[in-house]
Amino acid sequence: MKSIGQLVEETINVSDRGLPEFAFLNACEALDLTAQKVYKDEQTAEPAFQKFIRENWRLISFMGIPRSDVIPANLPFGLRRAIPSLNMPNLALEIVIYAVRHTLSTRRLPLEIGFARFGGITVENDKLLFPKSLLFAILGSVIFSPVNKDEKVPDNYWINIWDFKMFTSELWGRMDLAERVMNLYEGNKWGNEAVIEKKVE
Q: Is 81 a residue whose pLDDT tops 70? A: yes
Q: DSSP assignment of 79-141, as one string?
A: HHHHSS-S--TTHHHHHHHHHHHHHHHHSS--TTEEEESSSS-EEETTEEEEETHHHHHHHHH
Per-residue pLDDT at 85: 66
Q: Is the pLDDT of residue 74 over 60?
A: yes
Q: What is the mean pLDDT of residues 158-176?
A: 91
**First CA to last CA distance, the chain:** 30
Which pLDDT does position 198 carry in this prediction?
A: 75
Res 187: pLDDT = 66
* pLDDT-above-70 percentage for the chain: 91
Whether the per-residue pLDDT at 193 is higher than 70: the answer is: no
pLDDT of residue 38: 97
Q: Pairing mode, if any, of strands 164-167 and 157-161?
A: antiparallel
Per residue in 116-166, pLDDT (tens digit) is 877 778 899 989 999 999 999 999 999 999 999 999 999 999 998 877 889
Q: Does position 189 have pLDDT exceeding 70, yes or no?
A: no
pTM: 0.90
183 vs 179: CA distance, rounded Å: 6
Q: What are phi and psi of 28, to 5 degrees?
A: -65, -40
